[in-house]
Structure 1
């Protein structure tokens, strides 16, 4: 169905007011859009589960440490990568897949999807998928995170038609500024202050603070009764009535 031009033209930047009461944030009209068209930003079951996601546009030398921690702690994650990252960090992308993580689509050139034609959006997604398939055993992609969190109803609908599911987030903070790292305790506290059941956490692996805080986050969230699951588990919860055992 063709969307009205007024809806096609309007774009949104994913965001919300942070909650510190350990409840999911109110994302306003964005929730209605995802309810209508599909996509995720949290697990609304109320279960004490966490989904770790990382955005990888370029490398600062910390992704290996992140992968080390995930392997040691037996935690699944999803890494949303760009074409530049795949070209520049082939071995790390291979390692993500080999160690059981999901590689998600963050587009090849990191454009604003709401300013593209459907053909150009298709090219951005398919070229990234092909680049990952060429170097790893992951031959298909299901999850897309739009660059800069920019979207509209049309871009979500087009992604659906191309076989993709949008994944946003319910917990994030300013962690991507490599010139303003404030120590691992600050990153740790941001997560612990905002954590809530069903959180989809967005982190950037360019952050030294995140790499150093990750093990503490995982250990202390588990002490609070949280378990870690993959995005595949989140999607399956909409299909299967029985609970899935997490890590």
Structure 2
């Protein structure tokens, strides 16, 4: 496979995002190597450990009948979220994407066809991102799209660089669990317990909307996380309050 010349300048070694889970409200650590790499491209996986702020995000590869329920909960609890959508989701569930934006949520980019970006050329990566951005704008009127979550959770320095040059910031996560296997749902208590065990200051929470467990656990989890003194904020708030050098990108 031919990749563009940028592969010669930066590493294209795949990184499969993941690390030891948080416990006892102590933020997890990806390690200095990854921290420095992400900072170089304004990417992040958690917020400040100094305040009890958390960020709720969802990956939407396809619709499984639970997103409306999730949106109902977010509206009731006045919680902002970011939904990372694929091309399939945009084409199959445009009404739900419209509702996300209408109710004040952010629609982020999860690529058009959910490929491994490390196996694509720079141009193909940009095409994947552009198609999602343009279709979202067409459906919802959301003009700007600056947040991207790498499909399959795979990235490299090259894909970080290409995405950043295209105007995107990688949003990874610091709280997640196996919730996307629709044939292996374990009941709402499992999803609830995982969220409560892993919650920590600055958490970027990743949930998948295909999960019945998540949909049924979400309201109680949000209520109980708030009871612990946490505040849910949007990723735009992150850009305003965290240490991103160029805050002009959110305007």
TM-score by length of 2: 0.92
Deviations 1:108-133 (A, max 9, x none): 01111111111111100001101111
Pick one of 166, 177, 191 that aligns with 1:173: 177
Q: Secondary structure at the match of 2:56?
A: strand
Unaligned runs of 5+ in 2: 245-251
What residue in structure 1 maps to residue 68 of structure 2? Answer: 64
1:185-204 to 2 correspondence within 5 Å? 185-204=189-208
What residue in structure 2 maps to residue 25 of structure 1? Answer: 28
**1:64 and 1:72, CA in 2 relative to 1: closer, same or farther beyond 3 A?**
same
Pick one of 95, 106, 110 that aligns with 1:91: 95
Matched positions, count = 239
Q: Secondary structure at the match of 1:225?
A: coil
TM-superposed CA distance for 1:45, in Å, is: 4.5
Distance 2:8 2:24 in 1: 39
TM-superposed CA distance for 1:4, in Å, is: 6.9
Distance 1:108 1:162 in 2: 15
**1:89 and 1:4, CA in 2 relative to 1: closer, same or farther beyond 3 A?**
closer
**1:135 and 1:216, CA in 2 relative to 1: closer, same or farther beyond 3 A?**
same
In 1, are the aligned partners of 2:12 and 2:159 still within 8 Å (CA)?
Answer: no
Over aligned residues, Cα RMSD in angstroms? 1.5
What residue in structure 1 maps to residue 15 of structure 2? Answer: 12
Q: Secondary structure at the match of 1:51?
A: strand
1:182 aligns with 2:186: yes
Deviations 1:150-169 (A, max 9, x none): 11111101111100010000
* Segments ≥4 residues shifted beyond 3 Å: 2-7
Unaligned runs of 5+ in 1: 241-247
What residue in structure 1 maps to residue 164 of structure 2? Answer: 160
What residue in structure 1 maps to residue 111 of structure 2? Answer: 107
Distance 2:186 2:243 in 1: 41
